Amino acid sequence: MPPKQVRVRFAPSPTGFFHVGSARSTLFNWLYAKKEGGVFVLRIEDTDKERSNPEFERIIFESLEWIGLTWDEGPGFTRADGSEVREKGSFGPYRQSERKAIYKKYLEKLLYDNHAYWCFCTPEELEAERQSLLASGSPPKYSGTCRSLPKETVSERQERGESAVIRFKMPEEKISFSDIIRGTVEFDMSLGGDVVIAKGLDQPLFDFANMIDDEMMEITHVIRGEDHIPNTPKQIAVARVLGFRKLYYAHLPLILNSDRSKMSKRFQAASLVEYQKMGYVPEALVNFLVLLGWHPEPIVDTKTGKAHEREIFSLEELSKLFDFKRVQKGGAIFNIEKLNWINNRYLRVLENKEIARRLREGGFVKEGIEESMLLKTIELIKPRMRTLKEFEELAGCIFSVPEYDGTLLVWKKSTKDESKKNLIDVNAVLQATGENTFTPGELKNALSPLTTERGNGDVLWPLRVALSGKEFSPGPFEIMSVLGKNESMRRITEATAKL
C-alpha cells in the first residue's frame, strides 16, 4: 500500500565538500516536501569506507543548518564547537554504514533467485574486453563471462580466495520511466550489460543501497541531478525483481560554470563553506540557488497588464510557490554577479545590528571596534556592500587611514598650495560647526560657500582623500558624519602636512 504522504530524501556522501549542486538538490527536495506537507529525510551514503570522512559529514550537517534546511528524519550530529543538535539516535540515524545487514539480505536474495551472480573477472581482463569492443566500433559492455558459472566452480574459486564482485543480471529490454521534469525517458538495457551492484556481501555500491533504502524508508519521490539519469533504469530493474514500489523521479538540470563546464564536487570554490567564508548570507544563497533551474510565475501589473519577473523570495515564500512545472530542463549557469546582486539586496534590508553581529561572528571586522562606530559605518557603506567580506575593503578607511602619497590630494589642474589652503579653510569651517550638527546635510550646507566659490572638485576631492586616504571611497560628508568632528579635523590637519 503506497504511503499516504510525500516523502523525499537527500542522501549525500561524505567524500568531498558540500557543494552548491548538492545544496540546490537539498533545497528542491525540502521545498517540495514543505509544499506538499510531506517529510524530508536525510541519510548519509557512507558505504565507501576509503573516501568517507567524518569531517565532510560534519560540514554537510553544519551547511544545511546554516542555510536553514532542517530535516524531519535523519541523524543527529555534533557541531565543531562540541554542541549537540538533536538527540542522537532519535531520528535514525540514517547512515548506510549502519544498515549493511539489510543490504546483505537483499544481495543474498538476488543471488539465491538467480537474478545476480559472482563475477571473478579481473580489472585487466575487463579493460582488455572494453578496448576490444571499442576497436570494433561496439559499445563497451560486460560480455557475461561469469554469468553461468556452476555453483561448484563459484564455491571453489571463493575458497581459493579469488576476488569477486556481485553483478545483477540486467534484462535485455527497454526500460522507461516518467520524469516529472523531462517526461518519458527510455533506455535500451541490452547495450549496457550486467552491472556491478556490490563488491561483496558487506560492500554494496551506493546505487544498490540507495534503492533498498528508498523502499525501506517509503520514499515517494527521488529528486536529484540529471547526472543520475543513467542510474535510474538500473535501479528500476533491480527494484522490479525485488517487488518494490514504483517511485516518482525528477532530475534537475546541472549547475554549470560560466564556460558551461560542470561544477565539480571536489572543486573547493564550489563548496558552501567557501561561500560562507566569502561573506554571503544564507538567505541570499538560498534565494540564488532556487533560481538555478527554477523560475516563478511572472507577476502581472494589474494597471498596465505588463508581466515582470520577481527574483527576491524568503524561504517561507518559496515553500508555497515552488512547482516542478517551472523547473527548466537545460543546464543552469552559475552567475557570480547575480549572486552578488542578490546578496546586496539582502544586506540592504538587514538591520544594522544584525549585520554587525554577522560581521563579528564571521571575523569580517577587526577586534576592538566600538559598536556605535560599527553601526554608523554599516549604515554608510551597506548600500555598496555586496558581501560581508567587502566590509573591510569599503570601510577600512573609516577606522584607520592607509598610507598615501600627498600628490593624491591635488585635484586635476589645481596646485599643492591651493589644495593645502582649501583643506585649511575647510578645517576652519568645521571648527565653527557644532558636534551635534555633524550630519551629511548640515556639513554640506556649512561648506557650500567654499564649494560655490572654488568649485566642488577643488574643495571636496582633497577633503575626501584626507579623510579616507583613498582615490575611491564614500563621500566626504558621509565619512565626517561617522568620524565625528575631532577625528575629521585631525585627519585634515595630517593631510595638510603632506602638502
Query: Within 10 Å of residue 454's Cβ, how many Cβ atoms?
Result: 17
Can you list the alpha helix ranges (DSSP code H) found in 36-99? 54-66
Contact 9, 43 (CB under 8 A): yes
Contacts of 241 (CB under 8 A, 6+ apart): 110, 113, 115
Beta strand pairing status for 255-256 and 332-333?
parallel
CA atoms within 13 A on the CB side of 465: 23
Distance in angstroms (rounded) separating the CA atoms of residues 47 and 222: 20
Cell numbers standing for residue 85: 543538535
Residues with active-site annotation = 265
Kindly state the greatest CA–CA separation across the chain: 106
Which residues touch 233 (CB under 8 Å, ≥6 apart)? Answer: 175, 176, 177, 187, 189
The DSSP symbol for 173 reads S
Tell me whether strands 165-168 and 195-198 are parallel, antiparallel or unpaired: antiparallel
What's the distance, CA 440 to chain centroid? Answer: 40
Helical H runs in 219-368? 231-241, 272-277, 282-290, 315-321, 336-349, 352-361
> What is the SS3 assignment for 402?
coil
CA–CA dist 223, 251 (Å, integer)? 6
The answer to whether the beta carbons of residues 444 and 410 sit under 8 Å apart is no
CA–CA distance, 225 with 57 (Å, rounded to integer): 20
Cross-strand partners of 224:
251
Return the DSSP state at 297: P
Q: Is 38 left (phi over 0), alpha (psi -120 to 50) or beta?
A: beta
Give yes or no for a contact between 283 and 348, defined as CB atoms under 8 angstroms apart.
no
DSSP state of 365: S
Q: Rounded CA gap, 440 and 457, in Å?
A: 17
- Taking alpha carbons only, the member of 31, 104, 87, 54 closest to residue 317 is 31
98 and 49 Cβ atoms separated by less than 8 Å: no
How many whole angstroms separate alpha carbon 58 and alpha carbon 489? 51
